[in-house]
Amino acid sequence: MGVRWSCSALAGAVPEAQMDLETTRRSAERFAITRGHGRYFDEARLRLRTEEEGEASRFEVSVSPPSSSSTLTTMDFRDTAEVAEFRSEAAAWLAENAPSFELDETPDAPGADVEKQLEVGRAWMAKKAEAGWACLHWPETYGGRGLERFHSILFAAEESRYRVPVGFFHIGQNFAAPTLMEHASEEAKARHLPRLLSGEELWCQLFSEPGAGSDLAGIRTRAVRDGDVWTINGQKIWTTYAHLADYAILVTRHDPSLPKHKGLTYFYLDMKSEGVEARPIRQIAGTSSFNEVFLTNARIPDGQRLGEVGAGWQVALTTLMNERAGAGSAQNPPSVVQALRLATEIQLEHGPAIADASVRDKLASWYVRSRGLELIHQRTMTALAQGRTPGPESSIRKLVAASQQQDIANFGIDLQELGGSLRDPGDLGLGGLMQQCLLGAPGARIAGGTDEILRNIIAERVLGLPGDIRVDRDRPFDEVPGA
């Protein structure tokens, strides 16, 4: 027995896709976990039903507690009156202004004119700043509205409906700016924060090195002080937009005789300084947004130091906490909807791919998992709306989302068989999108915390497992093998 289905997220994606009831039930059972009143239920009863909605049907998976003695709290995801008013105001302003700044090509697509995109991006940021829609959660002193981060996330969700180039400014506004606010001098804040907000300055992040990525405290880039000036020598890598950036935040090692977390000092750096060379890295997907950066006797005034000498790790944590807060905040392509559409387009030997039970099983599994990711995101949004600091939810969400994106992209390429390898990744059709996503997927599992680091966070902070044994923590860095 089968049911016709489409859920609200998939409505209209395929007119009358058939899904086997038992296959769907098994898929949902495999992934559905219900949490209520601080404990996990040992069992879940799932109910499938269809409801007529015009010409389409609705597919629902309902999860209920195993016994009448258990109580399940119903979540209300509707906007409050205040949030609805804010969202409506933001949507109206964007509808009037954003179309004039939309790109004809996908931001940072292979072969795209990145410098032209950046020029449009700067103009768009200036427009938002002038109208009071840039960096809403920043204090009013620095050009924001003093709202909660929640409002910035709501605005970004509405803004994502338009193809406007905002990615250039993500690191500067969300990682560098909070670090400057907390650790920079008043003079530095007054100079740089308004320019960051308006898009006049583009910032990058000089953290990762060839031998130190996930283990940031293992960096080797040296900073040697000579009076009021520091001389920097070393190499950084995987630095997004370093070749376009005006400034960078930088972690260095000033004293290798101290344990690795204690011998660090944090600066910000003028990327146009003598001795700073950025070399774009051509990636397998055809883009070149990442760079390796060589610092050769680059000189930084002591006034551009953030925090005390030796407090670089504490300052870096400010940056990292803001980075992790944004990790996994959006589900990047390819989505389950796109996978479903491709499955309806691809013709296999016995008909469309969607008619294959194994294909439907994968789609059902990914849909349920995607819904779980949405609910985790709602938990984060709830915490922000209530003024609380989110927990490790973003780590869970990024870990699951990044691997799922890779799985869906692999699935899309497999469906196309040999044709999948011949599609131009610049093609905006679903075939080209799957290829481009597949080639870029490994990077998503590294940026913002590798899978291994995220699993450690989940193990230690969610499951309460003992932390890793770190034998190098209290040893002088120059005595650590390989340092």
List residues with catalytic annotation: 323
Interatomic CA distance for residues 11 and 13, integer angstroms = 6
Secondary structure (H, E, C), 312-347: HHHHHHHHHHHHHHHCCCCCCCCCHHHHHHHHHHCE
Q: Which residues pair with 209 in a beta bridge?
A: 212
Candidates 107, 153, 97, 162; CA nearest to 129 is: 97
The contacts of residue 431 (CB under 8 Å, 6+ apart) are 342, 412, 416, 419, 420, 423
Q: Are 5 and 58 in contact (CB under 8 A)?
A: yes
Q: Using CA atoms, how far apart are residues 2 and 18, in angstroms rounded to an integer?
A: 7
How close are the terminal C-alpha atoms of the chain, in Å? 63
Tokens found for residue 175: 């990682």
Task: Give the three-class secondary structure for 37.
Answer: coil
- R_g (Cα) of the chain, nearest Å: 24
Between the alpha carbon of residue 141 and those of residues 20, 111, 135, 169, 452, the distances in Å are: 58, 40, 12, 20, 39
Six-digit token string for 365:
């599994």
Give, for 236, the enclosing helix (H) or strand (E). Answer: strand 229-237
Contact 344, 6 (CB under 8 A): no
Q: Checking DSSP bridges between strand 2-4 and strand 18-20, what pairing results, if any?
A: antiparallel
Report which of 106, 188, 182 is spatially closest to residue 139, judged by C-alpha positions.
Answer: 182
**108 three-class SS:** coil
